[in-house]
Structures are given as structure tokens and as C-alpha cells.
Amino acid sequence: MAEHSEAPGRLAAIIADPGSAPHDSSVTHVTGKSEYVDDRPMVKGELHCGLVYSPYAHARVRRLDIAPALAVPGVVCAVTAADVAHNAWGTIFQDQPIIAAAEVNFVGEVVAVVAAETKEALAKGLTEVVVEWEKLPAIRTVAEAVAAKSFIGSERTIATGDAVAALARSPHRVAGTLEIGGADHFYLESQAAVVYPREDGQLEVHSSTQHPTETQHVVAEACGVRFSDVVCIAKRLGGGFGGKESQAAPIAAYAALVAKQTGRAARLVLSKDDDMIITGKRNPFRIEYQCGFDADGRIIALDAMLHADGGAYADLSTAIMERAMLHCDNAYFIPNMRVRGQVCRTNFHPHTAFRGFGGPKGVALIESVIEDIARVVDRDALDVRVLNCYGPGQDMTPYGQRVEDNHLPELFATLTERCAYRARRAEIAAWNADRARNPDGHSRGLSLTAVKFGISFTTRFLNQGNALVNLHRDGTVQVSTGAVEMGQGVNARIAAIVAEQFGLPTGSVRIMPTSTEKNANTSPTAASTGTDINGAAALQACETICARLSALAIRLRSIPPESWAKKTAGLGTMPEIAVGSGVSPRGTDEQRVEFRNGVVTVTDRSGSVFTVGFAELVREAYLNRISVSEYAHYSIPDLGFDKLTGKGRAFLYFTQGVAASEVELDRDTGEVKVRRVDILMDMGRPVNHALDMGQVMGGFVQGMGWLTTEHLVYDGNGKLLSHSPSTYKIPSVQDTPRVFNADLIFNHGNSVNVRGSKASGEPPLLLSISVWTAVRDAIMSARSSDASVSSGQHAQLVPLAIPATAERVLRGLSPQMFAAWDARDMQVANGGQQ
């Protein structure tokens, strides 16, 4: 893996290492000392909680009897819908009951919570709850939802130009349907919460949540108490990836309802099986599209209709759809585009946020279309991408935001050369055609795709955060923000920002557990904005403190040390030093102040220097009754996306990158081997280079899983069958690319974000689409070289659903054989003879 690299032109400025401090919990993770929710010691009288949930996708609750469960020794209480003060919740629309009453709408919908003193009593009590169900018809597919007009929200449109007219006059067109499956978050720590009842009706909630504020509010409403009576604390998460942005809230509410009813601490930790069955996934999509282009492959028009499976309730699906629509252009200028989006209501668990939100769906669409265009015009797909790439004069998105600080052309050019794309393309073509070297007829494919990922919440009011910074008299710092640490390293990044501002080692900065009593009304740690929003707020607080300390240091310079407060404050023999406004964090034009290596230096215009230790200066500030604590609020500026018109500045900036992936397909098993991956990304000026590299490579591999192996399988009742590690295939170390090169450019031109950095959480995952397009390339190459179809057909456009499982790869490679088998199976199913 390479370090920083030099790119042409504007990308040439490089520094040795912008910061690679270790993850703040790396030692405790390795030694097993990191504390998660279920690691909290049991307290006296604490209860174990479990859930009774629907086995049917859609059913009426004819009878619910908890009395037999309450008769089990050790069972203390059972909570139903009747015990919920406000039985509706939802991040966007409050359309989902916390506990269902008369009707259930998905397998896993909770109808009762049982609490017991032991796990054994809990298991027995859960089986004793009596529920009589009346099974009802269920909507199981997007097509069924469309036919029934079963929708969530209204249809949305983002458009520019006249796509319909431009399509009609386009010399060439492709059309098709792209089926995109869901995926499970598969965080290692399941949904979990412990709730402690406190005096005077207060509740202290410890939750594995990405959104402590929403969890606080849902708990308060469910229990019928004020928001101020609930404190939600999230020390760290064992992974989230969006799955704990909204869906952690009802889990905490279940435990809180028990705690409120019994006056005893209550703990609810889902098993992996229950977690996967109950919680929503990445939204499945069905996309129908038409694209017009010229003989060179330049896109003239794109018209697409996106349908998303939202599941039984709204959750975040309408916002996810919006993000998908906003990313259908990806890295390419499309003069005429119409993208429509509609979320469908089905009888599955309510689908929810997942790393990339809806962005991967839109990017998969346009990258697949470009592969098809390349086949039709007989050009390399990379050339078609470069031809259509955003550039000077063609830098306006379909929603009316200019692509600023655009490095996409340089990224394409640099990676093309670095990964020897042209030579490898020729070698792959030779390999695929040479049965002497490739006797099994395995097919290889290569694809180089891009990402232009917008960073900000598209709901403007979410783009705010706050921070509390406390300096202590030994020179150490405590920082509290609304950011939640879930393994991504947001704590280490914020610590680095604070440490740099004060001129301290990062070890002097302690990031405190996220708590709603210190940081209220916070946004979720999501949309790759954790460091952007919370780090900027922390920086503002630090700057205010630094301004006070700078003013104090300037005053101390002219005061003999024997007259400083450390000598006189106890006796009151000298007047206090008062500091006012007019001094910046770095002093004045006459006297510049520098915070560096634990020392504060004041330098005047003559070059005269005065120094004082940072800790000593903090003590002097305290003794002079000068505040060394500060609260700050930050809101991302210059945002204005109109959701009704589909126009405006939706994002503060774009994280950009490119990736080239080479794959080999086994024609006998359908197995996909990723032979090599090369990634090049623009992360601005990284706050922590090592953590960014981890996010790039980890996000890419996670995306590979969604695109190739992670297949959700449901039974006829709508229950998830692949609900454990034995049946759900996430990537393992054996699935990682055999050769894996990742690198960052160092972009000095980025200045809109905190410390010139760019977000690294979600964008790398979208680059893994290059693996899927490489698989398509390999399939289409194999089909085109097949003697039975090569004559009479210029291009083989092979649809490939996501995930590209082994079976789907085999179907793509041998469609005629599978068509015959499918016809035979259909005949048998209809009572015919084999």
C-alpha cells in the first residue's frame, strides 16, 4: 500500500505525513478492555428483556395473552402496546408503532416485551406468551406494490433539459431494468440498550445508537416523560453502518418501558438471529432506464424511474431515495436528464440507512449504463467515462450545483497510467481468447469507475453540531461532541483537530462518551459528516479559548513572574488580569502567539520572544477567573436544496475517487475472484491519513460483499432465512483482492471544510461498484467470444442483478442452459413430465 502520491498539476503538493495517530481505542480493542453496552456490569435487581414478534409478514392480532408468561417463576413483567404512552415513531414520518397492537406488517414486528430476572426465565416466558394470528395478504415485491399503488411519500423528480425530446433525437439508445438487492449491516455488536431508572422519574439510557438525540426523544415519548428527564449515552458502538441511525431507538424504548414499569434496571441485547430478522436492510431498488448517446458514446439524455422497497414503514427511505436520485449523474455531465423516484410500501422489515445511503444505487445505474454504451459504440468503457466526465464548461449537476474543486479528470488520468490499464486490458483480451493459457475458459474482466459523493445531509437542519471543550489545570483537555464513535475513528480525528489547535500531543486530549446532557439536539453520526460537523464545532470552541489564552499570554509578558496569580492569588495582593475581545486565537498584528509542543510563545515585531508552558498558562487563566471551557455551535454554510423543485446546493463539497478492479470468473462454479484493485482518492488534507486509508480499504471490501455475495433470502411468510453468519456471506480475508493498492492525493485546494479535510466514511464503498462492472465486463466478453452468438450480434448486453452471486454469474455465462432448466422446472411445477 502506497503512501501519499503526487498527481499532475494542482495535485502536486505533497507532505510526508499529515497525521497517523492510532485509533483512540486501538489498545483497549486489542486487549479486550473496550466497553460496549452489554459489557456494563449487571446491577442489583437488573432485568433481562426479550421480544415477542410476528412470524408473519402481514397479520391481524386476534388475541394476545401475557398472563401465562407472568406465571413463569422469575418473569417480572410483560409490556404491550397498552403500556406505551405515545405509540408512534419515525425519523421522517411517525408512521410506525413502537409496539404493534391490532395488526403487524412485517416478520419481526414486536407485539410484547418480556422481562425476567434470569435469562432462563426469560426464554421460558417468551414461549409462554399466547398470540393468535389471522394471516393477511402481503405485498412482497416492488411490482406488487406498484400495482397496488402501495407507496410511502410522493413521487419525486430531479430533471434538467428535456430528456424525453433528447432521447427521441439520439442516434443510439440503450434501455433496461436494473435489479438491486438489499444487504444486512452485519455490525458485530447487535442492537443493545441498558436503561437505569433514576430518582424523580428520570431515565439513564446506554444505547448502541448512532443518534443519541433521537433515542432520547423516542424513549421519552414512549414512556410519557419529558425529553429533559432522559439522558442517552453512547460510549462506542461495535459497528453501525447506518443500521443504528434510526432503528436503535425502539430497542432502547423497549428496555425503558420495562425500567419505568418496574423501577429496575433493564437490559435488552438482541441475538444476531433476532437482530437480522427484526431490523431493516439496505433498500432494494428496481430501476428502469433509457439512455441516448452519440456515435462516440457521449451521453445526450438519461431517463430513469427508481422504485425502492421501503418495507412496512417509512423509516429513512424517502431520504434514501432522494440521495439515490442525486447521485444518478455520479462523475458525468448529462445535459438532459429526468430521474423520478418512488418509495414502495411492502411487508418487509422497514429498510433503513446503510453506508452510502441511496448513493450506491444511483452510481450503479450510471456506471452500468456506461458499460452498455461502450459495448454499443465499440469503445473501451474507460474512454466513454473520460469523454463524459465532468470538466470545464460541463460542470453543472442536474440539480443545479456546480462541481467545484473538480479533480475527476486528473484522477482518471493518474490511475489509468498507474495501474497500467491499457496494457492490462490488452492482456485480458488475449487471456480470454487463448485456450492454451486458459484451458478452463475462465473469463477475466476489468473496469475503472469513479465516485463523486456529495457530503452533507440533504435535509438542511441536520447540518449542525455542537461541542463542549474543557481545559484542566494540568494542561489536559476533555472534549464532548454529538459524534458517536463506531469504529470509524471520529474520536481520534476530533482529538487531532483539538490537539493541533492547542499545540498538544493527541494523548493530552480525551474525547468523552457522547451524552445528550452535554450535547443536546444533535444530528446522527451519519452521511460521512461526523468529523465535519462535530470537529468544526470543537475547533470553534478551541479558537475561543485560544483567544482568551493568547490575550492572557500577551498581558503576562509585561508582568514579572513573581506578580503572577500563582504567587499572589491566594493572598489577593495583586489585581486580576481581565481579558476582553480584540485578540484572535493567534494574538494580534503586534504580538503573534503560537501554541506548539506544549509551549505558548509570544513574538513581537522586533523578534523578542516570551514563552510560557501551556499548562502553566491554563493555571494562570483559572487563577485570574478566565474561562478555560467553551461551548460552540457549528452549522454548515451555503446549503440550499429545494426538495420540491429538485434544485439547489445540496452539498458542501464532493469527495472524489476512482478505482480499477480486475476479476476472474470460474465458468464451472460462478465464483468471482478479485485479482487486483487500485484505488486513488481525493481526501483533501487528511486529518488522520492512516484512518482514512482504513476507511478506503474497509469500505471498498464491505461494498464488494453487497455487490457479490451478500444475498438476502426470505421464505414464503416473509421471514429472513439468511439470518446468521452460516447463511449470510460477508467478505472474509479470502475475498479481499489478491493485489490491493490504495492511495490518496493531497489536495491543498480544498478549503471549505474543517482543516481542509474531506469525508472518507461512505465514498470508498461506491468505488466497489467497479468489481460488479468488471464482472459484467467478464460475462459480456465471454458471451461475445462464444461462437454461437458472436455472429450476427455486435454487442452482448447482459443484465446482471446485484448481488452478482455465483448462480447469477453462471446464468449470465450460460443463459441458454439455464433457460432450458428453468423451463423444465416450470413444467414439473405445473404437473407435467420431466
Residues marked active site are found at: 762
Please report how many Cα atoms fall inside a 13 Å half-sphere around the Cα of residue 38, on the Cβ side.
12
Helix locations, 404-489, DSSP H? 408-418, 421-433
Helix locations, 245-397, DSSP H? 248-262, 272-278, 317-326, 359-377, 381-388
Contacts of 164 (CB under 8 A, 6+ apart): 301, 303, 338
DSSP-derived secondary structure for 171-196: SEEEEEEEEE-------SSPSEEEEE
**What one-character DSSP code corresponds to residue 636?**
-
Burial profile 501-540: b = 16 or more Cβ within 10 angstroms, e = fewer: bbbbebebbbbbbbbbebbeebbbbbbbbbbbbbbbbbbb
**Burial classification of residue 718, based on how many CB atoms lie within 10 Å of its CB (0-12 exposed, 13-18 middle, 19 or more buried):** buried
Q: Are 249 and 524 in contact (CB under 8 A)?
A: no
Q: Are 348 and 356 in contact (CB under 8 A)?
A: no
Q: Are 333 and 395 in contact (CB under 8 A)?
A: yes
Task: Return d(Cα 498, Cα 763) in angstroms, integer.
Answer: 25
Angle at 493 between CA 490 and CA 496, to 5 degrees: 150
**C-alpha distances out from residue 331 to 147, 192, 454, 640, 758, Å:** 34, 39, 11, 21, 17
Phi, psi of 795 (to 5 degrees): -135, 140
Task: Return d(Cα 705, Cα 712) in angstroms, integer.
Answer: 12
Of 373, 675, 334, 618, nearest in space to 477 by CA: 618
**C-alpha distances out from residue 463 to 119, 405, 530, 533, 822, Å:** 42, 21, 10, 7, 51
- Residue where the block lists cell 408512521: 95
Contacts of 154 (CB under 8 A, 6+ apart): 342
Grid cell in block for residue 448:
475503472
Task: Return d(Cα 158, Cα 337) in angstroms, integer.
Answer: 8
**C-alpha distances out from residue 245 to 74, 76, 95, 213, 346, Å:** 34, 31, 17, 10, 21
Task: Return d(Cα 381, Cα 387) in angstroms, integer.
Answer: 10
DSSP-derived secondary structure for 288-325: EEEEEE-TT--EEEEEEEEEEE--SS-TTHHHHHHHHH
Grid cell in block for residue 387:
469523454
